Structure formats: structure tokens, C-alpha cells
Structure 1
């Protein structure tokens, strides 16, 4: 996935010892270009971690390890996982990741925006071990009930299904007929330990290469139904046609 950095000055360094465990979906109520400008202005006092455009562009405004200013106000929340302490709400910015989307609340979402957002959500969920369900991918209005954000046109269940890889692109099988269907989305990950690179998503295939820990690997997509290892059957594939298990990378 290609991500353009447009870093905002509007954030809190770190996360007050919290770890992100949910993703908040927003609507920009405007254009991607306008949001770039608004988030770059210190006077706006707002930001999000990412913005996704109608054409599938992805901009990053705040690092995931820092707290963007996207969901700090809490009002009549319907989200059951919101944190409290001594009867007070803990600022959700500390434990959520915010994604803005181009358009207004009544603007239909393009297929490109759905696809890009789903791929981004999948990557974030992989990095932070966030479950992909409606308790962990939520609308902004579930934290701040005075708003309708992200509006009436987004289908959050569809977005989550896409992020889970439930919409796949058929491809030809290999000679043995054993390559599963692929989800096409690009990105980068880093090996956790020594990692075998194979010719198929199957440990019965002899390694074609071995990479050392800490090596960045680019992928062109993944499957969710490769060989299951430790209850995880997601495998990445590369442009060269090689495969590696998702449990071996971060």
C-alpha cells in the first residue's frame, strides 16, 4: 500500500501507557486536500492518524504510536468498550486509531475508498492485534453521540468483511491446483525471527530462501486459507511469486 505522509503538528506524543485496541472510522465532511490543510494548521487542534480519498489515496498524519486528536470528546457513548477510571471516561485518543474518509455524511463511498480503507484497517489490525469486528472497528458517533460521523452511506459491516479478506480476487491455480484465492493489496512487514520463504503457502514446500530477523519484506497480497500454523492460516505473497507466513512477521 502506498501511503503519503502529511504529518500534522496536532497530536500527543505517546499513548499514556495504553495500547491501541480499536479503530475509529470518521468522515471528513470535505475533501482529502482540504483535510490535509486543516490538519496541518495548529489552530485547528484536530487530526487523525490517516485519511483515505475517494480514489483510494491514503495519507498519514500522525504516527500510530502517538495519540491523534480525533476522538477525545465523549458524549453519551454507545461503545461498550470505552474505558473509564473513577467514574470518568479515559480519553479514547490514547487507545484508538482514527481514519478519516473523503466526502460528507451522505456521500456514497467509492469501491476504491472501501478497498483502500479495508486494506489499511487490515494492516493496522495486524500490527496491533486488533480483532476485526464491530466492537473494535467503530464509528465516531459511538464515542461522541452528538454526531452522526461517519454518516449514513458507509456500511461498517461491509468494511470489516473486506478487511477480513472476505472479498477475494480469483487467480489461476499453480500446476498442482493448490494455490488459494488471493486478496490483492500491497504493503510491508518485518520478520520477527528467521523466516522461511516458500513457493506456496504450505510448509511442505521446501524453502526457496531464508531471511534473518528484522528484515523488511514487501508483499503484493495475502490469502486467509493457506496452511494453518498455530491457528493462523494467513500467508503473504510477493511479486516474485514467493510466500511467507503472517505469524512470522510484524
Structure 2
């Protein structure tokens, strides 16, 4: 299922990533309604932004190009204050003497970390962020030739980057286990195994069914070859595939 991304581009970002590659996804909670969050993150006075914001109704907003660093996961390299990178509980952040904004992709989720009835993601919101995580993984692969590892060291919460300043972001009800299982194709979810893959080969455009496994999108060779106009058969005597 393809989803529309609503673009509300923010002026608050780094131009580029200072030579870094996005290797992690960091999840946040807005602690407020989506329109207010998007407005604030696009306001120069806020000095803050995120790459994406996922609304409770499943809408996805993009505020910063994935090739730029957003201002959402900043760590301080030379100061030992609240945002000092060595305070991080994540071994990757703690081991990189670089502003974490330069090697992360940030997702804000509309909601509240503790507010009764608003702390958990809605089902529409969950399916949207599941799709978005996969979209980010594919975009990073396409643009940087890097596979974001699908585990809890590389897909994390803001509280793991800045535990002293943001100890409750994105909150105790964030569905980490379900998200990891669905991204690894070990559990349920509306987007469990199939992911349509688009091809443009010699001006011939088509799509085939794929399967996302550990951040890699795989397609069946037979379907792909037949879409390209080849005939695929099996020679039982020789025990080999014949392609004509």
C-alpha cells in the first residue's frame, strides 16, 4: 500500500549531514496535537524540527529532506550538560563524537507520553509509522547505499539519545515489540510481508511483489524476468532453469 506524504518543509535543518550517513531512526512523541506540532517545528523561532510527523489519523507529514539533518536529536560533544553524547544509553550514539542529528532520521508521533487515552498510538497511526519506517529504510538504501539495521540499537526512542532531558519520549506505551516484529517480518501487521517494488528499465515501467527482510527488499526472479519479456521454464532432464 502506497501512502501519501504531506510536505510542510521546515527551514530548521542542517544543509546536508556533514559527511555522515543516516544509520538510525529515532522515534519521538509530540506532547500535543499534530497541527500545532507541525506549525512549531516549521517556525524558525523554535530552532527545532523533525524529518517526519505521524498524525493519529495516519497522515504523514515530511518537514525535512532525508538528506539533511533535522534539529531533533541533538547531542553536545564538548559540553557535559543534559545533551552530552556520553549520557546516551545507546552504544552507537555514545560511541560517536558527532551531533546525533547528523546520523539519524527523526519521526514525531502525535500524542502524549502519559495522557490517559492518548498515550498509545492509534491503529491508523501504527500502520502509518510501520510503513514510514520501511520507507525510510528504503530511501536510505537508495540514497546512501546503506542498510539501516532493524534492531533496538538502530531504531530507538529519544529517551535513549537524551535520557536526562527527554526521559519519557516517546513514552512507555510506544509499541517497540510489535514494531520490531513487523519490520523483521516475524509478526502480524497489515504490511506483513509484501511490498510492491517499482522498476523503470529501458523506459518500461512495472511493479512486482517484494518481500522486505532485514531491511532488504527481495523480488522473485521469475516474475521480474517475465515482466521484462523473457520466458522462464524448467528443464527437468537437465535440472536447470531455462530463460528465453
* 1:1-250 paired onto structure 2 within 5 Å: 1-73=3-75, 74-75=83-84, 76-82=87-93, 84=95, 89-106=97-114, 107-128=119-140, 129-146=147-164, 147=166, 148-165=168-185, 166-168=187-189, 182-183=193-194, 191=199, 211-212=201-202, 222-224=210-212, 234-235=218-219, 244=224
Deviation at 1:160, TM superposition (A): 2.2
| CA displacement 1:51-82 (0-9 Å, x = unmatched) | 00111110000000000000003342100111
Q: Is the 8 A contact 2:127 2:190 kept in 1?
A: no
CA deviations on 1:194-229 (whole Å, 9 max, x unpaired) are x7xxxxxxxxxxxxxxx238x87678x74358xxxx
| Matched residue SS, 1:234 | strand
Relative to structure 1, the CA distance from residue 7 to residue 223 in structure 2 (aligned partners, 3 Å threshold; closer, same or farther) is same
Q: Measure, in 1, the Cα distance between the counterparts of 2:212 and 2:22.
A: 24
Q: How far is 1:168 from its partner?
A: 4.7
Aligned CA distance change for structure 1 residues 244 and 108 (closer, same or farther; 3 Å)? farther
Question: What is the distance in 2 between the residues matched to 1:124 and 1:16?
Answer: 19
Unmatched segments (≥5 aa) in structure 1: 171-180, 196-210, 226-231, 237-241, 246-250
Q: Show structure 1 runs of 4+ deviating over 3 A.
A: 215-219, 221-225, 242-245
After TM superposition, the score normalised by the length of structure 1 is 0.70
Return the alpha-carbon distance in structure 2 between the equivalents of residues 118 and 109 of structure 1.
11
Deviation at 1:32, TM superposition (A): 1.0
Please give the TM-score of this superposition, normalised by the length of structure 2. Answer: 0.71
**Structure 1 residue 163 displacement after superposition:** 2.5
Higher Cα Rg, which structure: 2
Judge conservation of contact 2:210–2:217 (CA < 8 Å) in 1.
no
Residues 2 and 152 (structure 1), Cα distance of their counterparts in 2 relative to 1, 3 Å cut: same
CA RMSD of aligned residues (A): 2.9
Q: Distance in 2 between matches of 1:33 and 1:143?
A: 25
Please give the secondary structure, in 1, of the residue aligned with 2:50. Answer: coil
Q: Is the 8 A contact 1:83 1:90 kept in 2?
A: no
Relative distance call for 1:109 and 1:244 in structure 2 (3 A) is: farther
User: When the two structures are aligned, how many residues end up with a matched partner?
Assistant: 198
Q: Secondary structure at the match of 1:103?
A: coil
